[in-house]
Structure 1
């Protein structure tokens, strides 16, 4: 940002919002892939994702890293790639979706939001594909 190169910041923030938001969506759409506890904390993960607090994804990744982490990487890569390809610039270092209404904070806002939705959807679908259904004991 201090070099006045703003496209990497946009890709960084969207890549950090995607994992917890994708997990939250996956727990709602594909609930049989998650424990009751994971489904119960999905709302908090979603709020953290909206705020660009990627750490909301850590408990999920820690429980099943070999299946969860690749899904998170894939969704973030898609979102970041779309953001970079569109030349989206973000002039603030943090804040998630809450900074998007600030005038001149982000360029190409519509494409940026589409990139976020695409990354979240890819994450959720990848989790559906990669994670096994939870047994009744879990």
Structure 2
């Protein structure tokens, strides 16, 4: 179900709690909401729809993915960039990102996976994991 977006920086600054199998519908709602905003948004974290759980959804070159409890386990290739955010008003803001990341996460079956990402997809994932950690750009 498509959910209303949260724009309150105080709420968005709350660190998310670990997700469990009970949160599978939150992942579905997050994906539905991302798809509804696909023209202007490439990734979302659950707190953007009012749920403080470690869940992200993102567009990986046309393949939409949901991760539960994602954690970056390695990163390389630091660079400076600017990013916008659907939840935050105003234009793009400067931030530091990494070109390549390795992420440990749980899939829709809550099985643990590890995957590497590069380029723009890596940047999206870093932004959304920051949301889970209560970090805003």
Superposition TM-score tier, normalisation by shorter sequence: under 0.3
TM-score (norm 2): 0.28
Structure in which a larger fraction of residues adopt helix: 1
Greater strand fraction, Structure 1 or Structure 2? 2
> Could you say which structure has the greater relative contact order, defined with CA pairs below 8 angstroms and 6 or more residues apart?
1
